[in-house]
């Protein structure tokens, strides 16, 4: 069953904004059946067309059932010509398939079938549990890899020419390429360097000391709290029960929250001047802006509020218009943030079950051609000290490109889509990726 194609969608801005406003007020959910709590049961057919008519013609919206327990909503381009090699695009937080809208058509014009799903916990993909107390296992990294692989197979592909992961999508893409290099034949990692699997204790039976673990997020948090200006690590905040409500019911309103959040982490905010940190210690981590290392007593809504751009700055922001912000506010106003946040609870090495699962692949690296793309003004590249070096020297054995794009912060594929598209196409052509 398919959504109405984005190419034929029509929706008045007035009507859409009324819907988005209703959604944002009081945490209401649009057309959502709560007779069975814990399951996102939005009647997708009752929703306005995806993207509020802001998706470029040539990109269509549709849903694919029976994908690792999900009905996956995705955007695709280059679908008109059968037999094309595929490219899979995995978005981050708080993003959607929609976040790839500006690079999909250039990739399609280069000869690829471009696939961008709303990942588990996001957008119009259904079949996931939307409560904080739900079993978080489906959001663990190995199941997210299964999500990606199941979608590729459902679409009739044995492999994709490239998987691209941005932000929270980067570890999903990275682990996909590490575990199934036969399916994910090359990878572009965006904004979140991949460090490789955690080490399995080695030779301990003969007296070798187990590897010294890196400081956990809890240990870092404890040290950050002792600073003269107490701070906290954002990933610990994202795991808390209150994070969803804080963002969903932001005092400034959901639209304004997204506008400030996206601005603060972009190249438009001139305070973003990232650089490598010496070590993962509180004094060094405190150099990172508060969207990553937050003030101790503030939620994310309060953190970003002072960085709301002026009306003149908003008018000048061509990479993210108000109509485009409305798309994010409407979709997250309906689904809330809880599903999207579940990944923060289970994908870090400090989570015992995740650590055990990931150690299964100790000593493995990504052996397919790899590229990293980030924004030159993006602290995401350096938020984990040493991660870039580990990615380039051990975690990826064929790292053939490392690019920091001028004029881009964290939202690199939205801020500078032309430059990103060129890098992706050049990388694909250099690798001769025409797999099906």
Residue 128 lies in a domain: yes
Which residue shows structure tokens 């029509």?
A: 10
Q: Using omega within 30 degrees of 0 as the cis cutoff, is the peptide bond preceding 94 cis?
A: yes
- Answer for the pair 314, 259: CB distance below 8 angstroms, yes or no: yes
Q: What pLDDT does 20 receive?
A: 38
Task: Print pLDDT tens along the chain (436 aa).
Answer: 444 333 333 333 333 333 333 333 333 333 333 333 344 556 788 899 999 899 999 999 999 999 999 999 999 999 999 999 999 999 999 999 999 999 999 999 999 999 999 999 999 999 999 899 999 999 999 999 999 999 999 999 999 999 999 999 999 999 999 999 999 999 999 999 999 999 999 999 999 888 777 788 889 999 999 999 999 999 999 999 999 999 999 999 999 999 999 999 999 999 999 999 999 999 999 999 999 999 999 999 999 999 999 999 999 999 999 999 999 999 999 999 999 999 999 987 668 888 899 999 999 999 999 999 999 999 999 999 999 999 999 999 999 999 999 999 999 999 999 999 999 999 999 988 555 4
Indicate if 296 and 238 belong to the same structural domain: yes
Structure tokens at 32: 């959502």
- Phi, psi torsion values for 190, nearest 5 degrees: -120, 125
Nearest in space to 337 (alpha carbons), one of 29, 104, 80, 32: 29
Is the residue at 164 inside a domain?
yes
- The answer to whether residue 6 is domain-embedded is no
Of 312, 344, 376, the last residue of a domain is: 344
Q: Do residues 58 and 191 share a domain?
A: yes
Q: Kindly report the CATH number assigned to the domain that includes residue 156.
A: 3.40.50.1820
| Dihedral of alpha carbons 385, 103, 186, 124, sign | positive
Query: In terms of domains, do 243 and 232 share one?
Result: yes
Q: Are 365 and 357 in contact (CB under 8 A)?
A: no
Cα dihedral 150, 92, 335, 311 sign? negative
On whether the CB atoms of residues 26 and 248 are closer than 8 A, the answer is no
Within a domain: 29 = no
Report yes or no on 375 lying in a domain. yes
Q: Which residue has tokens 């549709």?
A: 62
> If DSSP codes are grouped into helix, strand and coil, which group holds residue 277?
coil
Q: Are residues 223 and 270 in the same domain?
A: yes
156 with 43, same domain? Answer: yes
pTM confidence score = 0.90
3 is a domain residue: no
Distance of CA 201 to the CA centre of its chain: 31
Same domain for 180 and 79: yes
Residue 124 lies in a domain: yes
Place of tokens 């059946």: 33
Q: 41 with 189, same domain?
A: yes
Q: Where are the beta strands (DSSP E) in 47-102?
A: 60-67, 70-77, 86-90
- Look up tokens 């959604």; give the residue: 23
Looking at the fold, whether 56 and 165 belong to one and the same domain comes out as yes
Vertex 13 angle, CA 335 and 43, to 5°: 35
Structure tokens that stand for 308 in this block: 């709301």
Tell me if 14 is assigned to some domain. no
Instruction: Please spell the DSSP secondary structure of 175-196, one letter per residue.
Output: HHHHH-TTTB--EEEESS----
**pLDDT score for 363:** 95
Token representation of residue 79: 């679908």
| Residue 203 burial (C-beta neighbours within 10 Å; 0-12, 13-18, 19+) | exposed
**Domain shared by 263 and 278, yes or no:** yes
CA dihedral 161→92→152→431, nearest 10 degrees, is 10
Distance of CA 180 to the CA centre of its chain: 20
Residue ending a domain, choose from 344, 360, 394: 344
Nearest to 348 by CA among 141, 131, 122, 136: 141
Residue 45 pLDDT: 81
61 plus 79 within the same structural domain: yes
Q: How far from the centroid of its chain's Cα atoms is residue 361's Cα?
A: 23
Domain limit, last residue, from 313, 344, 375: 344
Helix (H) or strand (E) holding 345: helix 338-346
Domain of residue 295 covers 217-344
Considering the domain architecture, whether residues 338 and 355 belong to the same structural domain is answered as no
* Cα distances (Å, whole numbers) of residue 401 to 367, 372, 396, 397, 414: 14, 6, 11, 12, 20
Residue 168 and residue 146: Cα distance in Å, rounded?
16
Per-residue confidence (pLDDT) for residue 435, from 0 to 100 = 53
Residue 117 pLDDT: 98
Question: Would you say how long the chain is, in residues?
Answer: 436
Same domain membership, residue 52 and residue 195? yes
- Tally of domains within the chain: 2
């Amino acid at each position: 069953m398919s959504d109405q194609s984005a190419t034929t969608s029509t929706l008045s801005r007035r009507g859409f904004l009324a819907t988005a406003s209703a959604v944002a007020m009081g945490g209401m959910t649009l057309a959502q059946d709560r007779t069975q709590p814990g399951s996102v049961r939005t009647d997708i057919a009752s929703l306005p067309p995806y993207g509020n008519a802001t998706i470029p013609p040539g990109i269509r919206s549709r849903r694919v059932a029976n994908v690792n327990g999900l009905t996956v909503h995705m955007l695709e381009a280059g679908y008109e010509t059968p037999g094309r090699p595929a490219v899979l695009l995995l978005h981050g937080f708080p993003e959607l398939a929609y976040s790839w809208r500006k690079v999909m058509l250039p990739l399609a014009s280069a000869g690829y079938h471009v696939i961008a799903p709303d990942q588990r916990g996001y957008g119009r993909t259904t079949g996931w549990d939307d409560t904080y107390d739900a079993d978080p296992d489906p959001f663990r990294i190995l199941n997210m890899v299964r999500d990606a692989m199941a979608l590729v197979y459902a679409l009739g592909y044995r492999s994709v020419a490239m998987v691209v992961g941005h932000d929270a999508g980067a570890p999903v893409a990275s682990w996909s390429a590490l575990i199934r290099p036969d399916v994910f034949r090359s990878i572009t990692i965006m904004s979140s360097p991949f460090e490789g699997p955690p080490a399995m204790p080695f030779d301990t039976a003969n007296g070798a000391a187990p590897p010294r673990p890196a400081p956990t997020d809890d240990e870092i948090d404890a040290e950050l709290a002792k600073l003269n200006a107490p701070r906290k690590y954002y990933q610990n905040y994202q795991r808390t029960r209150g994070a969803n409500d804080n963002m969903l019911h932001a005092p400034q309103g959901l639209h304004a929250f997204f506008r400030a959040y996206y601005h603060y982490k972009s190249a438009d905010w001139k305070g973003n001047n990232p650089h490598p940190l010496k070590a993962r210690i509180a004094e060094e981590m405190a150099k990172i802006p508060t969207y990553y290392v937050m003030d101790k007593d503030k939620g994310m809504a309060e953190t970003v509020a002072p960085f709301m751009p002026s009306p003149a700055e908003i008018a000048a922001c061509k990479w993210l218009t108000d109509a485009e912000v409305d798309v994010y506010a409407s979709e997250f106003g309906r689904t809330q943030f809880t599903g999207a946040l579940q990944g923060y609870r289970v994908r870090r090495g400090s989570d015992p079950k995740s650590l055990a699962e990931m150690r299964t692949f100790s000593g493995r690296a990504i052996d397919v051609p790899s590229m990293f793309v980030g924004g030159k003004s993006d602290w995401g590249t350096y938020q984990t000290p040493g991660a870039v070096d580990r990615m380039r020297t051990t975690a990826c054995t064929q790292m053939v490109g490392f690019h920091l794009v001028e004029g881009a912060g964290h939202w690199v594929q939205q801020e500078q889509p032309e430059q990103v598209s060129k890098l992706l196409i050049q990388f694909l052509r250099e690798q001769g990726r025409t797999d099906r």
